[in-house]
Amino acid sequence: MSQRQVLQVFEQYQKARTQFVQTVAELATRPQNIETLQNAGVMSLLRPLLLDVVPTIQQTAVLALGRLANYNDDLAEAVVKGGILPQLVYSLVEQNRFYKKAAAFVLRAVGKHSPQLAQAIVDCGALDTLVVCLEDFDPGVREAAAWAFSYIARHNAELSQAVVDAGAVPLLVLCIQEPEIALKGIAASALSDIAKHSPELAQTVVDVGAIAHLAQMILNPDAKLKRQVLSALSQIAKHSVNMAEMVVEAEIFPVVLTCLKDKDDYVKKNASTLIREIAKHTPELSQLIVNAGGVAAVIDCIASCKGNIRLPGIMMLGYVAAHSENLAMAVIISKGVPMLSVCLSEEPEDHIKAAATWALGQIGRHTPEHARAVVVTNTLPVLLSLYMSTESSEDLQIKSKKALKNILQQCTYLPALEPLLYDAPPNILKHVVGQFSKVLPHDCKARRLFVTSGGLKKIQEIKAEPGSLLQEYINSINSCYPEEIVRYYSPGYSDTLLQRVDSYQPLTH
């Protein structure tokens, strides 16, 4: 055979390998093919191609592997068990940028499924090579490396600590300052995943000066970037008062309020999460938010969305109102209570209803003024029905009971209390009657109204054990009225009257 024919054999083999690897990579993009590929033993076939002579075959093989590992965790485990990771890590350092991108993709795909797989990645020393990739010139390589870091750090605090120890955080902050939007977003999400586990990790992120850069990026028009940035800031701010103060010092107010008006729902959600995390620490921070007009913006945001997006906003109102009565009054005058009642009645999910009841309880528990503002919107029957309904979850029942008790202890607005006399169970009824017994002795118009609306009649019908608190309240109410009225309304009065009629002997002249 001539030299040419010999060379032709090799060329054919190379072509066949290239075609195989490219087709597998393409097939791996569709989920329905992956099962078949797995059963055909594609992993064992791809492994030797990773060490192929031709660079394009290597890169395509790595890409195909990454797509397979991305799909489910069995394949990812097969990648780890097959000892492919050390080879990848070793060649990551030397190869060109396409290979680096594909290898970082594989690491990301393996690391995202579970903490054990991510730990396997850390154990084979991939973090150092990924840090080297973070310093690369090509933004695509940096993006892939940052994404891998974010998925690894997501699982738990030890893995985040490993990422921080590898020295990734300053490089991520440098990545944030790059002009490419996608790179910024991924770096922000990586920082958010690192900072969310514990205050120490958040402190490491803050120490490299990430807050200033993140705060600048809030103004960027790209929606995905805003999501990540707001999420990162809220993960930092949630840990302690100091961090929340540092985030506020970066002058995010009032810019953050414009994010509450964004078209994208998740931007709104993350923005209201950030405001909630800041508001929950101290009354001063809540005061700052109120002074900047944040409460009105959050209420508008709640009005404009539905479902889970509303939840952080509702919780924020609850936290603000919980700190002090002035802040609760500020929430009331910003028209927060009608909004919360609407949420309570509209939302189908139990946890959102629970949050709304808790928030209403926090607003109404301070003084009679506050309680009046809450009950005027007809929330008490709704709360009662939530408490009594068998469909509500336990959490919802407990929260609505607490909210009812808190509000009732301060409520002096009698027209709203009257419907409760009819429906309430005994433990709630005792509070309701107690409030009546506090108000009625001093207000004669209210007494009159009480009689004409049938409340006195209802009181007489209540059976209470003698000596209990309820009986005392009933007695004190009865003592506000003349004897005849009380007897008139007592149950069975008509019977006694008829008995008297029966037993009456008319005087015969």
Partner 1 sequence: MATLARLQARSTSMGQQYYYRNSVVDVFRKKENDAAVKIQSWFRGCQVRAYIRHLHTVATTIQKWWRGYLGRQRYQLIVKIQRRWRGYKIRKYCFNYYYLKEYLKAVSETNDAVREALEEFAEMKDREEKKADLEREEKKRDYQARKTHYLLSTKQIPGIYNSPFRKDPDPWELRLQKAKPLTHRRPKVKQTHSVSLSDWLACTSARSFPRSEILPPIDRKPCQGPFRPVAEVLEQRYRPLEPTLRVADPLDGLKEARREVQRQEWARNVNDNMFLPFSSYHKNKKYIPTLHLSSKYGSDSYGRQHFRDENPKRWICDKDFQTVLPSFDLFSKYGKLYSKAGQIV
Site for partner 1, rule CB under 8 A: 254, 257-258, 260-261, 263, 290-297, 300, 326, 329-330, 333-334
Nearer to partner 1, 196 or 224 (CB): 224
Cβ contacts of 117-124, under 8 Å, gap ≥ 24: 117/73, 117/76, 117/77, 117/80, 118/151, 118/152, 118/155, 118/159, 119/159, 120/80, 120/85, 121/80, 121/85, 121/152, 122/152, 122/159, 122/162, 124/85, 124/86, 124/89
Least Å distance, CB 334 to partner 1, is 5
Structure tokens at 273: 């999460």
The DSSP secondary-structure symbol of 156 reads -
* Nearest CA-CA partner of 84 in 27, 45, 141, 114: 45
First to last CA, the chain: 153
Of the CA atoms within 13 Å of residue 195, those in its CB half-sphere come to 32
Least Å distance, CB 296 to partner 1, is 3
Of the CA atoms within 13 Å of residue 482, those in its CB half-sphere come to 4
Q: Give Cα separations from 208 to 163, 205, 249, 278 (angstroms).
A: 15, 6, 16, 21
* Nearest CA-CA partner of 379 in 440, 332, 427: 332
In the block, residue with structure tokens 């009841």: 357
Nearer to partner 1, 6 or 333 (CB): 333
Nearer to partner 1, 8 or 291 (CB): 291
Least Å distance, CB 251 to partner 1, is 16
Nearer to partner 1, 64 or 290 (CB): 290
Nearer to partner 1, 291 or 308 (CB): 291
Contact 478, 490 (CB under 8 A): no
Nearer to partner 1, 254 or 415 (CB): 254
Cis peptide before 491 (omega within 30 of 0): no
Least Å distance, CB 245 to partner 1, is 21
Instruction: Assign residue 10 a region (left: φ > 0; alpha: ψ between -120 and 50; beta: otherwise).
Output: alpha
Nearer to partner 1, 122 or 292 (CB): 292
Least Å distance, CB 359 to partner 1, is 18
Least Å distance, CB 291 to partner 1, is 7
Least Å distance, CB 329 to partner 1, is 6
Nearer to partner 1, 63 or 327 (CB): 327
Least Å distance, CB 297 to partner 1, is 6
Contact 446, 408 (CB under 8 A): no
